[in-house]
Amino acid sequence: MAPCRRSVDLYDRPVARVFSGIQPSGDMHLGNYLGALRQFAFDQYDHDAVFCIVDLHALTVPQDPGELRRRTLEAARIHMAAGLDPSVCTLFVQSHVHEHAELSWLMECTASVGELRRMTQFKEKADKASDQEFVAAALFTYPALMAADILLYEADRVPVGADQRQHLELARDLALRFNHRFGDTFVVPTAAVPRVGARIMDLQRPTEKMSKSVISPQGTVGLLEDAASIVRKIRRAVTDTEVEVRYDPQAKPGVSNLLTILGATTGEDPERLARRYHQYGELKADCAEAVVALLEPIQARYAELAADPAGTAAVLAEGVGKARAVAAPVLDRARAAVGLLPR
């Protein structure tokens, strides 16, 4: 089977590929932007860049069908509003490329129950569910689908927030195990986690990460939220009863989170930033101002894109074709390697 073709640079060197995915499981928030999306926009210019709205992953927890459709389109527009240029990168919806579900099965056959059981995201979500609550089997096998997403595109680099590090390690282990058993088939990927902003915490419960699917309206800053509401939430963010501004995520999670948000937004080091502040109020005011300024252009671009639904549909339709051109030969190679007959 011929290896997949990659773009080459002016010197005929192959260009590294970047791949990442975001679930349309709720309203996109500041953590998604600072931890993941912002890196996507940087990476697209010097990589073969492929980004995916992972709707199949969102189905691991109950979704209203109409809402899922709306959010999938919204997520695509947010990717573009955050700077992704579909003429430079590939943007598509996971379920449009059936190769993901197929390779996911081969990954489920490569992963062990023990290693899936050790995934903290599964443990946390399953533990949180009450005895009567439905926990889908797919919540357990979810990292196998994620590994399939990555391996199908022969990604070298996978930009993600800190919460996905463990899943990335598993994807690496599965690639290595498969290659060892069946011969070189997959590229072994590496996680790219930002130094500042990889784990933005909930403003009301600063020991928990800001999350789409956890209901915490006062603790979450939506990417499309209006300025007044963002300012109000940051002003009311939970801190502590001391007065000292210090970066210490263990002892002072609320204040440290505000320093992280301000640092990630302005490109400064949170510890160094702390020395500049003597009152929580000042820190909150500057943090709110910086976040509003960061989101303003994204929101303006989003409004333009939302006014042209056919434009979004066209981008996603083009994305499927570009994605399948890479994914289909890789899946064929994996199928052949394990001994499935050609079709």
Residues at the site binding ligand LTN, with contacts judged by CB under 6 A: 19-21, 23, 54, 57, 146, 149-150, 158, 160, 164, 167
Q: CA torsion, points 90, 94, 97, 99, in degrees to nearest 10? A: 110
Nearer to ligand LTN, 102 or 289 (CB): 102
d(C-alpha 148, C-alpha 108), whole Å = 9
Q: Residue 148 CB, nearest distance to ligand LTN (Å)?
A: 8
d(C-alpha 339, C-alpha 333), whole Å = 10
Identified catalytic residue from 123, 128, 212, 284: 212
Residue 146: HSE in the Cβ half-sphere, 13 Å Cα cutoff: 30
Q: What would the DSSP string read from start to end of 101-138?
A: HHHHHHHHTTS-HHHHHT-HHHHHHHHHS-TTS---HH
Residue nearest to ligand LTN (CB): 21
Site for ligand ATP (CB under 6 A): which residue of 31, 143, 253, 319? 31
Q: Residue 35 CB, nearest distance to ligand LTN (Å)?
A: 9
Please indicate whether residue 125 is annotated as part of the active site. yes
Q: Residue 72 CB, nearest distance to ligand ATP (Å)?
A: 12
Comparing C-alpha atoms, which of 185, 230, 182, 179 is closest to residue 29?
230
- Measure Cα distances from 31 to 5, 173, 251, 263 in Å: 34, 27, 21, 13
Touching ligand ATP, residues 72-101 (CB under 6 A): none
Dihedral sign, CA of 232, 163, 33, 53?
Answer: negative
- Using CB distances below 5 to 8 A depending on partner kind, what does residue 283 bind out of ligand LTN, ligand ATP, none? none
Q: Residue 241 CB, nearest distance to ligand ATP (Å)?
A: 25
Comparing C-alpha atoms, which of 209, 293, 286, 190 is closest to residue 245?
286
Identified catalytic residue from 123, 128, 209, 233: 209
Nearer to ligand ATP, 268 or 332 (CB): 268
Residue 164 binding ligand ATP, by CB under 6 A: yes
Touching ligand ATP, residues 205-264 (CB under 6 A): 209-213
Neighbours of 136 (CB within 10 A): 13
Q: Which of 132-140, 176-184, 204-212, 254-262 is the region at the interface with ligand ATP (rule: CB under 6 A)?
A: 204-212
Site for ligand ATP (CB under 6 A): which residue of 23, 72, 141, 260? 23
Nearer to ligand ATP, 137 or 341 (CB): 137
Token pair of 88, please? 């430079």
Site for ligand ATP (CB under 6 A): which residue of 163, 169, 173, 289? 163
Helical (H) or strand (E) element with 208: none
Neighbours of 274 (CB within 10 A): 21
Q: What are phi and psi of 89, to 5 degrees?
A: -115, 180
- Using CB distances below 5 to 8 A depending on partner kind, what does residue 146 bind out of ligand ATP, ligand LTN, none? ligand LTN
Q: Residue 168 CB, nearest distance to ligand ATP (Å)?
A: 10
Please indicate whether residue 233 is annotated as part of the active site. no
* List of E strands, the chain: 17-22, 48-53, 90-93, 157-159, 190-192
Nearer to ligand ATP, 158 or 334 (CB): 158
Site map (CB under 6 A) of ligand ATP, residues 174-203, x = contact: ------------------------xxx---
Please indicate whether residue 123 is annotated as part of the active site. no
Q: Residue 60 CB, nearest distance to ligand LTN (Å)?
A: 9
Active site residue ranges: 125, 209, 212
